[in-house]
Structure 1
């Protein structure tokens, strides 16, 4: 005696047979890339009319941690981590993804700013940009 297939399984098998090798397209970004310069990295997913972006501090020799802030800007985007003041930022720590930014035709940039308390000024520890 043959085991009975459930109606769901039979419907699924029939659908697959009818599709006959059709390929299902899954949306993916036109460009998805991580770029780094000095102590800063950005990750940008360009989806055409909108994009996602992230910025973070990375460990580099002589710079184990950053006391300062990270900036991220581009079309329809201007943010800072932390949002005010300065903080200690460990390597690979960064902002949360900033998603669904409506904007194209420009550069998305990230920059790490170190607060030099001795000289009472900020020093750039790297800037990196990507086109969207």
Structure 2
């Protein structure tokens, strides 16, 4: 079973100072951007990590990539993190452009600092998607 969990550190008008040098800024002019160069990845071979475990993993344990992540067929859970700061007032979209992921769990902090979790994936009902589209698209406010 393929499981991909995306952990977005901050999607708000603030960002964590520890990650400030790696934070991607969304401004009014931005129409589209591939986040692969900002992604940090870690493999959970046993699938035992929860969100609290992941946020406590030191930055140096995460691997960087500048290419599209490809994990092949695996039973591992893969976690990805990226730091995003939005100075846009309205919502934006996060697209996972590979439609064959069994499960995707998205975690992010909204502008009020509340943790938001969204779940979707190929094995979940099509109605679990924010947008009814072939790829997975999350609406982020």
For the aligned pair, the TM-score class normalised by the smaller chain equals under 0.3
- What is the TM-score with the length of structure 2 in the denominator? 0.25
Return the structure number with greater strand share. 1
- What is the TM-score with the length of structure 1 in the denominator? 0.26
Return the structure number with greater helix share. 2
